[in-house]
Amino acid sequence: MSVMVSPFDAHRDRTSEKYTAYPADVLPMFVAEMDSVPAEPIRDALVRAVTNGDTGYVGHTRVLPEVFADFAGRRWGWEVDPDLVRTTTDVSVAAVEVLRRVIAPGDQVVVMPPVYPPFWDYVREAGGTVTEVPLLPPAGDPDPYDTTAGWRMDLDGIAAALAAGARTVLLCNPHNPLGLVHARESLVALARLAAAWDAVVVSDEIHAPLTHADAVFTPFLTCGPEAVEHGVALTSASKAWNLAGTKCALMVGASDRARGWFDGLPVEVVERTGILGYTASVAAFRDGEPWLASLLAELAANRRVLAEELGTALPGAGYRQPQASYLAWLDLRALPWGDEPARLLVDRAKVALSNGRDFGRQGTGHARLNFGCSEETLREGLARLSAAR
């Protein structure tokens, strides 16, 4: 049984941004939300909570930290200390609040475009200034059967930024919009740079459970003593199990230093965790892996469809299969759609994609396509884009 539904069916019942931002005749393939049905354990847990009236303020329990620690151990061999896990509403809030603990006003924070657009906003909201150190692209023309593994961090550029005064690196791993799973050796090198400059690495790992079978995700906090002392990880069940609206994320540390940062958080940062998000997250990390396996199989099939069909549908378009998640980074500069093709294609193709420029200057002429949908939907999207040439 497929975990995906038709977006046109979803339009009739759902009120989230994905299904209300555009008219019903536009295929929504932009925001990182899937056309999925809920995993049964999560659905049952939420129904039970609502039926029982368990919809108040979140309680002070260790259940989610312990369940996540078990999941991280099974999935990645990561030994998480539940006492060094805190919750809050979402990874966006987690990023801002952790940055507020580790930077002073005006401090430089390294980001690596093309990257998730709110990263710039996180830094500004926390009182910092952004220093861009773009990722290094693979050499040669993109082969759709390659993965994004050829992309890599510019470690020399990060070292130069730290030497110039930056004291924090905001890492995205797996990296949105590329679906790049950073290699362990790169993460170890980053941790050593952080130690050399007494910097902090804040690692957004929300897409980690969506890592595909041909890649290996490495949690930053497992990358040696330097990472333990200088790192914080942020994660959530929201991306892998499509739970963004339930509002729960985790901040994970591995050192007394991190404990100090967490203990310095305003009480309300934790208190604002959504109780339904907490409930759903416990169910996801404890009982949601069979559903996740089915999802990953469908996403892998869609990833292959893009590799096989994109060249025919859009000759000249560039694409490498993501190593994680359901987001495809499309290089559309060879097509006659200008610097911001997503803006044009909403009207011309009736397909909504994410605008590449929002991910940084490196996104000029690019767009991000969400293939967290049925294969039928994906093929319809490709047909519409092809007809718009």
pLDDT band at 72 (very low <50, low <70, confident <90, very high): very high
> Comparing C-alpha atoms, which of 189, 170, 157 is closest to residue 129?
170
- For residue 176, the model assigns a pLDDT of 98
Contact in structure between 119 and 92 (CB atoms under 8 Å): no
pLDDT band at 1 (very low <50, low <70, confident <90, very high): low
pLDDT band at 12 (very low <50, low <70, confident <90, very high): confident
- For residue 84, the model assigns a pLDDT of 98
Tens digit of each residue's pLDDT (9 = 90 or more) over 102-144: 999 999 999 999 999 999 999 999 999 999 999 999 987 778 7
Share of the chain above pLDDT 90, in %: 95
- For residue 55, the model assigns a pLDDT of 97
Tell me the pTM. 0.97
Q: How far is CA 367 from the centre of its chain?
A: 16
Q: Is 98 exposed, middle or buried (0-12, 13-18, 19+ CB in 10 A)?
A: buried
Tens digit of each residue's pLDDT (9 = 90 or more) over 330-377: 999 999 999 999 999 999 999 999 999 999 999 999 999 999 999 999
Q: Strand (E) positions, the chain? A: 27-28, 85-88, 108-111, 129-132, 168-172, 200-204, 231-235, 249-252, 327-331, 351-352, 354-355, 366-370
CA distance linking residue 114 with residue 180, whole number of Å: 11
What is the average pLDDT across 246-275? 97
Half-sphere exposure of 106 (CA within 13 A, CB side): 1
- For 365-380, the DSSP string reads TEEEEE--S-HHHHHH
Q: CATH number of 51-287: 3.40.50.720, 3.40.190.290, 1.25.60.10, 3.40.640.10? A: 3.40.640.10
The CATH class for the domain spanning 7-38+289-387 reads alpha beta
Count of other CB atoms within 10 angstroms of residue 13: 8
Q: Which residue has the tokens 């539940």?
A: 82
CA distance linking residue 138 with residue 146, whole number of Å: 10
Tens digit of each residue's pLDDT (9 = 90 or more) over 160-209: 999 999 999 999 999 999 999 999 999 999 999 999 999 999 999 999 99
Contact in structure between 69 and 85 (CB atoms under 8 Å): yes
What is the chain's mean pLDDT, rounded? 97
Provide the Cα torsion 151, 156, 157, 158; round to 10°: 90
Q: Which residue has the tokens 């930056």?
A: 166
pLDDT band at 226 (very low <50, low <70, confident <90, very high): very high
Whether residue 177 is preceded by a cis peptide bond, meaning omega within 30 degrees of 0, is yes
Count of other CB atoms within 10 angstroms of residue 203: 25
Structure tokens at 217: 């995700």
**Per-residue buried b or exposed e for 234-257, using 16+ beta carbons within 10 Å of the residue's own CB:** bbbbbbbbbbbbbbbbbbbbbbeb
Question: Is the pLDDT assigned to residue 298 strictly greater than 70?
Answer: yes
Quick check: helix, strand or coil at residue 164? Answer: coil
* Domain boundaries defined on the chain: 7-38+289-387, 51-287
Q: Region of 198 please: left (phi>0), alpha (psi -120 to 50) or beta.
A: left
